[in-house]
């Protein structure tokens, strides 16, 4: 019954350890050693060895004399198999590249992009040693959060690439509400925040050829289960766990995000702009209808944010009702009293 497994589209024999695990998962109560021996045709010693190996991998398995074994909890890893339990996509994450540790998922995804990896390839890790943020900053990436990049090969012109970041921010806000029932907002263009603190960051990088995109890499960091933040960022950053008080199932969060992202991204590709998504995006926009400080080189101006347009530009209005459109990357937008 538990003989084969499909990973990366390739069918392979399950190891005895995987078979035992599947058997324990299929039962909510204790499974006796005798039953495992009979069902899998293995010896008691082999079961004991494999149960110990599972325990060493972080599975909590209770062993009780005369009752057998019961799986109490699984380790919190976001490897391929766990993500696939929640995945419902047609083409995103058909290929998953996972390693416990990486320098940066964006760096690895770009290498895969150069090597011809397919559209939708997902690169994911538990921690990054050289995580990259926007504007050349680093993205500190301890264990417990989500760090991943999606390799995309959109057939669109270069000037449209920055909109992928806004599509991702919208998909993140929607996913966090759906899976954790947490209300978040978007600080234009792409920071996802809760209670005024940043939860997610997005860095989109692309390789272009004259007017067209060879590939784009959208890299996302979600502060998921991090509880302590360094002094210098603790007033500006938070995690879903801190905001909800609950430990987050990262595989579920990530799988759901990929499902939502695929739908939104396809809507974006339909028109090659944000016209289908802008109404929903504007509902999440934290500064909508509020005064913001627009910081451009040495100059600071106070204007009212109205919403984004179909190109992802922020529409702002001065006191005389005069409107203008701000392009992301050219200016910084701050609330009047700090980050938001
Ligand atoms: C920001 O500065 O707000 C963007 C941060 C983006 C961080 C993510 S984590 C996964 C991916 N890999 C990276 O090196 N950076 C992005």
Give me the pLDDT at residue 184, please. 96
Give me the pLDDT at residue 18, please. 87
**Residue 187 Cα, ligand 1 centroid: separation in angstroms?**
16
Residue 131 alpha carbon, nearest atom of ligand 1: 14
Give me the pLDDT at residue 269, please. 97
Q: Does 166 sit behind a cis peptide bond, omega within 30 degrees of 0 on the bond before it?
A: no
pLDDT in tens, 41-72: 989 999 999 999 888 777 889 999 999 999 99
Going by their DSSP bridges, the two strands 122-128 and 96-102 should be labelled as parallel
Residues 6+ apart with CB under 8 A from 327: 313
Give me the pLDDT at residue 5, please. 37
Give me the pLDDT at residue 13, please. 61
Contact (Cβ atoms closer than 8 angstroms) between residue 330 and residue 293? no
Give me the pLDDT at residue 106, please. 98
In this structure, what token pair is assigned to residue 271?
């028109």
- Distance in angstroms (rounded) separating the CA atoms of residues 274 and 156: 13
**Residue 266 Cα, ligand 1 centroid: separation in angstroms?**
23
- What b-and-e string marks burial along 204-227, b requiring 16 or more CB atoms within 10 Å of the CB? bbbeeeeeebebbbbbbbbbbbbe
Contact (Cβ atoms closer than 8 angstroms) between residue 228 and residue 165? no
Handedness of CA 33, 35, 38, 39 (dihedral sign): negative
Burial of 116 (0-12, 13-18, 19+ CB in 10 A): exposed
Atom 7 in ligand 1: which residue has the minimum CA distance? 221
Instruction: Look at residues 223, 167, 170 and name the one whose alpha carbon lies nearest to residue 198.
Output: 223
Give me the pLDDT at residue 119, please. 98
Atom 9 in ligand 1: which residue has the minimum CA distance? 221
Give me the pLDDT at residue 303, please. 92
- Distance in angstroms (rounded) separating the CA atoms of residues 31 and 69: 5
Q: Rounded to two decimals, what is the model's pTM?
A: 0.82
Alpha helices in the chain (DSSP H): 16-25, 33-40, 44-56, 80-84, 105-114, 163-180, 240-244, 250-271, 278-284
- Tokens 């008080």 belong to which residue? 245
- Distance in angstroms (rounded) separating the CA atoms of residues 279 and 281: 5
pLDDT in tens, 165-185: 999 999 999 999 999 999 999
**Residue 115 Cα, ligand 1 centroid: separation in angstroms?**
22
Dihedral in degrees, nearest 10, Cα atoms 19, 24, 25, 28: 160
Give me the pLDDT at residue 9, please. 35
Which protein residues touch ligand 1 with a CB less than 6 Å away? 104-106, 128, 131-134, 137, 139, 147-149, 201-203, 219-221
Atom 2 in ligand 1: which residue has the minimum CA distance? 133
* Residues of the chain below pLDDT 50: 1-12
Task: Please provide residue 151's backbone torsions phi and psi, each rounded to the nearest 5 degrees.
Answer: -85, 125
Atom 16 in ligand 1: which residue has the minimum CA distance? 219
């Amino acid at each position: 019954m538990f003989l084969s497994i499909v990973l990366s589209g390739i069918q392979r024999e399950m190891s005895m350890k995987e078979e035992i695990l599947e058997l324990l998962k299929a039962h909510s109560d204790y499974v006796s050693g005798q039953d495992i021996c009979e069902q899998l045709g293995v010896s008691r010693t082999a079961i004991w060895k494999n149960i110990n190996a599972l325990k060493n991998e972080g599975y909590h398995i209770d062993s009780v004399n005369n009752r057998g074994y019961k799986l109490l909890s699984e380790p919190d890893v976001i490897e391929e198999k766990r993500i696939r339990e929640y995945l419902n996509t047609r083409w995103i994450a058909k290929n998953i590249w996972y390693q416990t540790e990486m320098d940066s998922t964006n760096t690895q995804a770009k290498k895969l992009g150069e090597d011809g990896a397919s559209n939708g390839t997902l690169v994911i890790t538990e921690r990054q040693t050289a995580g990259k943020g926007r504007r050349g900053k680093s993205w500190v990436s301890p264990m417990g959060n989500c760090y991943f990049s999606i390799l995309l090969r959109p057939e669109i012109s270069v000037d449209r690439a920055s909109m992928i970041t806004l599509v991702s921010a919208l998909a993140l806000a929607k996913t966090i509400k759906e899976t954790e029932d947490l209300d978040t907002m978007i600080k234009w263009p792409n920071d996802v925040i809760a209670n005024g603190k940043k939860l997610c960051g997005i860095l989109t990088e692309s390789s272009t050829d004259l007017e067209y995109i060879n590939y784009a890499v959208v890299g996302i960091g979600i502060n998921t289960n991090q509880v302590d933040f360094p002094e210098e960022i603790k007033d500006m950053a938070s995690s879903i766990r801190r905001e909800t008080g609950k430990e987050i199932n990262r595989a579920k969060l990530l799988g759901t995000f990929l499902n939502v992202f695929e739908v939104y991204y396809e809507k974006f590709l339909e028109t090659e702009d944000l016209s289908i998504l802008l109404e929903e995006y504007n509902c999440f926009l934290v500064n909508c209808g509020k005064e913001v400080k627009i910081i451009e080189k040495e100059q600071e101006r106070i204007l009212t944010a109205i919403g984004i347009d179909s190109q992802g530009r922020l529409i702002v209005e001065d006191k005389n009702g005069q409107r203008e459109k701000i392009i992301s990357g050219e200016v910084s937008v701050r609330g009047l009293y700090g980050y938001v």
